[in-house]
Structure 1
Amino acid sequence: MLTEVFAEVYEKFKLNLYKHMFVNGGGKEHELTATETFTLEVIHAMKNPKVSQLAEFLEMSTPNVAYKISSLMKKGYIEKIQSKEDKREYILKETEKFHEYYKAKNSYIPIVLDRLAKRFTEEEIDNLEHILKVMSDEFMGEVNRFIADNKVD
């Protein structure tokens, strides 16, 4: 039962993301394609990675990733900052336009959390928060290790 319920909640959050992609997509020059949206999601989750780190994580060639980055830069969602340690490397940084997009995309989260707060006690919410924190910190080691190993300071 837990597997089904967890998958159901996860699917609903994904559906909300996909809906947002289609409502705000459509092929115009300033809008994001599905691939660009997913690329932005990874860049954000990796907390401003180097171009090479993004390519490694996505298991794509650097030229293919460079093409996606170029498109996102033209649309104003990210910028490349030259690494101070290695001038051959570039760090991907989110722009204000990205933050506006991200806030709009994630607007469903506070709605759900507000409903949660109205339905459950503070103790129940604290328990849920604790469980989610343990899941994120302890049970998702493969992703956590990749992020930690590739963190840009």
Structure 2
Amino acid sequence: MLEQAFADVYSKFKLHFYQKVFSRFQSREASLTTVETFCMEIIQALGKPTINEFASFVQISPPNAAYKVNSLIKKGYLKKVQSENDRREYFLVVTQKYEDYYNISYSYLSTVMSRIKDRFSPEDVAKIEEMLTIISDELMPEIPLKSPNASHYAPEA
């Protein structure tokens, strides 16, 4: 029962995202391939990774990762920012163009979060938040998110 309920919620978020992405294809706004969309979501979730960190996470070679990154840079969705500490190191940073594209998915998250706050008591909302934090931090250790950038998942109040 729990598994099905969670799978249903997860599927609805994915399907909403896919629905919005496909509607952009209709109007020719979308310029990211499916794989590029996945790459961008991973890069954003990792919180300004280096090319090597991205390559390591997706388990591809650094040259293959560099090829994908360069394509995303050419399309204007990503930029490389030189490290202030180590001038040889560059971080991958999403651009406003991608943020606008990305918001088609996360505006729905805000909508659902508002509905949760309207439907449940503040105590229940706090419990949901506590449980989700425990799930993310303790029960999903295989997928680390950097804390400073992980906050982009939280809807703005």
- Corresponding residue of 1:63: 63
- Corresponding residue of 2:114: 114
- Corresponding residue of 2:79: 79
Cα distance in 2 between the residues matched to 1:29 and 1:13: 21
The offset of 1:125, in angstroms, is 1.0
The question of whether the paired residues in 1 share the 8 Å contact of 2:44 and 2:94 is answered with yes
Is the partner of 2:113 in helix, strand or coil? helix
Letter matched to residue 127 of structure 2: N
Identity between Structure 1 and Structure 2 (%): 42
The question of whether the paired residues in 1 share the 8 Å contact of 2:50 and 2:91 is answered with yes
Does the alignment pair 1:37 with 2:37? yes
Does the alignment pair 1:12 with 2:6? no
5+ long unaligned stretches in structure 1 = none
The offset of 1:29, in angstroms, is 8.8
TM-score normalized by the length of structure 1:
0.85
Cα distance in 2 between the residues matched to 1:25 and 1:68: 21
Greater relative contact order structure (CA < 8 Å, 6+ sep):
2
- Corresponding residue of 2:154: none
Letter matched to residue 14 of structure 2: K
With over 3 angstroms needed to count, the CA separation of the structure-2 counterparts of 1:129 and 1:91, relative to structure 1, is same
Cα distance in 2 between the residues matched to 1:87 and 1:122: 47
Letter matched to residue 66 of structure 2: A
Cα distance in 2 between the residues matched to 1:113 and 1:56: 33
Does the alignment pair 1:93 with 2:93? yes
- Corresponding residue of 1:134: 134
Is the partner of 1:16 in helix, strand or coil? helix
The offset of 1:108, in angstroms, is 0.7
Q: CA RMSD in A?
A: 2.1
Cα distance in 1 between the residues matched to 2:80 and 2:17: 26
Deviations 1:22-44 (CA, angstroms, capped at 9, x unpaired): 22247x69611111110000001
The offset of 1:88, in angstroms, is 3.9
The question of whether the paired residues in 2 share the 8 Å contact of 1:25 and 1:32 is answered with no
The question of whether the paired residues in 1 share the 8 Å contact of 2:77 and 2:97 is answered with yes
Say how many residue pairs are matched: 146
Deviations 1:37-59 (CA, angstroms, capped at 9, x unpaired): 10000001100100011011111
Cα distance in 2 between the residues matched to 1:103 and 1:30: 13
Cα distance in 2 between the residues matched to 1:69 and 1:29: 20
